[in-house]
Amino acid sequence: MFSVRISVLGTGYLGATHAAALARWGHIVSGVDVDPHRVDLLSRGVAPFHEPGFADLLREGVASGRLTFSTDVAAVDGADVHFLCVGTPQLDGADGADLSALWAAVEALAPELGRDALVVGKSTVPVGTAALLQERIDDLTPPNHGVEVAWNPEFLREGHAVEDSLRPDRLVLGTASDAAEARLRAVYCRLLADGVPVVRTDLQTAELAKASANVMLASRISVVNVLAQVCEAANADIGRLTEILGLDSRIGPQYLSPGIGFGGGCLPKDLRAFSSRAGELGVDTAAQLLGAVDDVNTYQRQRTVDLATRLLDGRPRGRRVAALGAAFKADSDDIRDSPALSVATSLAAVGARVRVHDPEAGRHLSGRSDLETRDTVESACDGAELTLVLTEWAQFAALDPVALGSVVARRVVVDGRLVLDPHRWTRAGWTVHALGRGDPWPPADTARRAG
Ligand code: UGA
């Protein structure tokens, strides 16, 4: 098998999964990270985060000897292709992206770069960053050293990182030369053999491809949530409406789930960074449109808090509330900018006694004084006057409303993700509330028909 020596700088969700996928394809991979604890875990084949299938892929790579990790950037020695996978979070106090980790990685990497090395960006960055990186690398390496920058954005989702890496929808190769493209094609020869579509483009279009995909997804979710608001006002059913929309082949069914909105380490900050960069480029309409997308998203969290407060008779202080879910989405233990956690925290801030259960993210809440964490749904719901479903975990959708009804103090549930079957829950004596449906559900005439 054709094997390339590769380094991966930054071993978060993106970098660690990418490194393990590269090793699966037969390449020799050195992962480098500044966090010694993370490097220690990865080196021992232990996954530092919850990601279905990742632990097996990691163990396979480490056991094969093709996948190693280090805190020492000198470990990249001998590699021809270097992937930049460091985080690009939102700037403190501003909408733009904080690229300090990216620049630090390049400064550290430059002295280690061999002649004609290829440096490939994967992180989400403002358009124009690759060109600046190329200039900086030219300054930091000897004249005519021939190091080239390419951009190969990553579209993996948390919770699906492994399948998205091994079977991506497309490969985007942003390169300034045929030689760089050929080298990236060698890295991805397994995916090319599997028929994964490839688009070769310039550096700036490749940079934009990633940010634009997240902007499209975020916008779509906020449009759905506006539709949900109209459904509520008109006593219509957003669940049925999105089903109808999804059957339109031009619209499709994905990213049509309404509820408390999007969160996580990517969509919110990428939306703001894109808008900020567009403004710098003189495109003011981006801020108008995407500012509204952001506002609708934040408003969904507030509306959920308002609904919960109303269901506690406007007196949340001292009332027991069960919050099912803390992760920003199902199949992830990530709580960064989590809508679920935001709702739970806001209710705790007005005095509610909030008990949280999340299948994976609960351990990140230890030490918090405002929220109690519980290991099971039942113990979180014990004596609760209000139950909130805030993350779309499959196990929450599958809960038995009859059994749960016997542990709560009041059978009142807010379905923040529209994952519960309202017929089942209503039959078990629950009052079911959800943003985007007649409130409470079902409306009287539907209830009679459902029998
Ligand atoms: C997102 C993109 O989907 C990936 O393609 C991208 O690579 C990644 O960001 C990134 O930039 O690294 P991720 O943050 O893992 O991936 O999350 P998504 O699955 O896109 O979900 C984002 C949020 O939207 C979650 O809070 C989810 O609950 C919410 N969501 C999603 C909805 O509210 N409704 C939907 O219909 C879909």
CA–CA separation, 397 vs 443, rounded Å?
21
For the segment 415-431, the average pLDDT, to the nearest whole number, is: 96
Instruction: Quote the pLDDT of residue 442.
Output: 56
Q: Is the dihedral of CA 293, 296, 302, 308 positive or negative?
A: negative
% of the chain surpassing 70 pLDDT: 97
CA angle 42/43/46 to nearest 5° reads 45
Distance of CA 170 to the CA centre of its chain: 18
- Residue 237 belongs to a domain with what CATH number? 3.40.50.720
Bridge-based pairing of strands 67-70 and 28-32 is parallel
One domain, residues 194 and 238: no
Task: Tell me, yes or no, if 381 is annotated catalytic.
Answer: no
For the segment 72-87, the average pLDDT, to the nearest whole number, is: 96
- Residue 36: closest CA among 27, 25, 26, 44: 44
269 C-alpha to ligand 1 centroid (Å): 12
Structural domain contains residue 220: no
Q: Give start and end residues of each alpha helix (H) in 53-140.
A: 54-64, 100-109, 129-140
358 C-alpha to ligand 1 centroid (Å): 18
Last residue of a domain, which of 158, 185, 201?
201
pLDDT tens digits, one per residue of 24-35: 999 999 999 999
Ligand 1 binding pocket mutation candidate from 266, 293, 419 (most atoms within 8 A of CB): 266
* 148-151, strands of its sheet edge to edge: 67-70, 28-32, 5-9, 81-84, 118-121, 148-151, 171-174, 198-201
One domain, residues 391 and 258: yes
Residue nearest ligand 1's atom 5 by CA: 155
Instruction: Quote the pLDDT of residue 451.
Output: 34
Structural domain contains residue 213: no
Last residue of a domain, which of 201, 219, 247?
201
Residue nearest ligand 1's atom 9 by CA: 266
pLDDT tens digits, one per residue of 266-279: 999 999 999 999 99
267 C-alpha to ligand 1 centroid (Å): 6
pLDDT tens digits, one per residue of 203-213: 999 999 999 99
One domain, residues 309 and 417: yes
For the segment 81-101, the average pLDDT, to the nearest whole number, is: 94
CA–CA separation, 132 vs 130, rounded Å?
5
Residue 218 has pLDDT above 60, yes or no: yes
Three-state SS at 39: helix
One domain, residues 161 and 43: yes
One domain, residues 62 and 170: yes
Domain that holds residue 196: 5-201
Q: For the chain, how big is the Rg over CA atoms in Å? A: 24
Find out whether the beta carbon of 256 lies less than 6 Å from any atom of ligand 1.
yes
Structural domain contains residue 224: no
pLDDT band at 22 (very low <50, low <70, confident <90, very high): very high
CA–CA separation, 298 vs 419, rounded Å?
20
One domain, residues 160 and 236: no
Per the DSSP assignment, residues forming a β-bridge with 121 are: 84, 151
244 C-alpha to ligand 1 centroid (Å): 22
- Residue 203: closest CA among 124, 275, 131: 131
Q: What is the 3-state secondary structure (H, E, C) of 347-376?
A: HHHCCCEEEEECCCCHHHHCCCCCCEECCC
Structural domain contains residue 12: yes
Instruction: Quote the pLDDT of residue 359.
Output: 96
Residue 76 has pLDDT above 80, yes or no: yes
Mean pLDDT score across all residues of the chain: 95
The number of the ligand 1 atom at minimal distance from the alpha carbon of 154 is 7
One domain, residues 269 and 402: yes
Per the DSSP assignment, residues forming a β-bridge with 28 are: 5
Amino acid letter, residue 304 = T
Structure tokens at 95: 């909408």
Residue 168 region by backbone torsions, left for phi larger than 0, else alpha for psi between -120 and 50, else beta? beta
Find out whether the beta carbon of 153 lies less than 6 Å from any atom of ligand 1.
no
Under 8 Å between Cβ of 316 and 388? no
| Count of beta carbons in the 10 Å neighbourhood of residue 52 | 13
Structure tokens at 280: 């710098």
CA–CA separation, 193 vs 182, rounded Å?
14
Find out whether the beta carbon of 158 lies less than 6 Å from any atom of ligand 1.
yes
Q: What's the pTM value of the predicted model, to 2 decimals?
A: 0.93
One domain, residues 193 and 309: no
Counting the structural domains of the chain, the total is 2
| Count of beta carbons in the 10 Å neighbourhood of residue 62 | 19
157 C-alpha to ligand 1 centroid (Å): 6
Task: Find the catalytic residue in 85, 189, 231, 266.
Answer: 266
Structure tokens at 99: 């690229």
For the segment 165-180, the average pLDDT, to the nearest whole number, is: 97
Ligand 1 binding pocket mutation candidate from 329, 338, 389, 396 (most atoms within 8 A of CB): 329
